Amino acid sequence: MERIRFGVWSLATALLLSGCGEHPLVTLYDHNLTHTPIPCLALQVSPPDPTARKTITALYPFKAQCPYTLILTTKEEIVCHSFGNAPKKATSDFPSAYLRMELHRGMDLLYSYYVDLTHAPEASDIRHAFERLQKDLHLQQ
């Protein structure tokens, strides 16, 4: 019975501490990318955002015809549905937006960068995310 109680307590604690975070979550799905130069990138911005597009196109010469596509997604006014975060929501800055960059080759997801934000995505957030992608992968200009 003590083991069951400990298991329930451990699960409850894990759920309480999980949820939205403020540090980037970076996932490399294709580890060969770190050894293979990426010759070019096509760009998709979703939802269409002229400011985000202008910011990221100033950082890299995107090409319309390329097998690699970088998808930049931003979202504002989000809500984290983790019940364990109720005290944090009530007493501190809580994420209300996010920025995500995904690198695809065709339909295959190769790399992902995701960060929760306490403000609307800004040019500095996009620059930081793209710089991280450049650091993690070999991008040719």
The pLDDT tens digits for 98-132 are 999 999 999 999 999 999 998 889 999 999 999 99
Q: Where are the domains of the chain?
A: 20-136
DSSP letters spanning 93-134: ----EEEEEEEEETTEEEEEEEEEESS---HHHHHHHHHHHH
- Please tell me what DSSP assigns to residue 84: G
Q: Which position has the higher pLDDT, 27 or 92?
A: 27
Q: What is the pTM of this model?
A: 0.74
Which of the residue ranges 14-18, 47-51, 60-64, 131-135 would you say has the lowest mean pLDDT? 14-18
61 backbone dihedrals φ, ψ, rounded to 5°: -85, 80
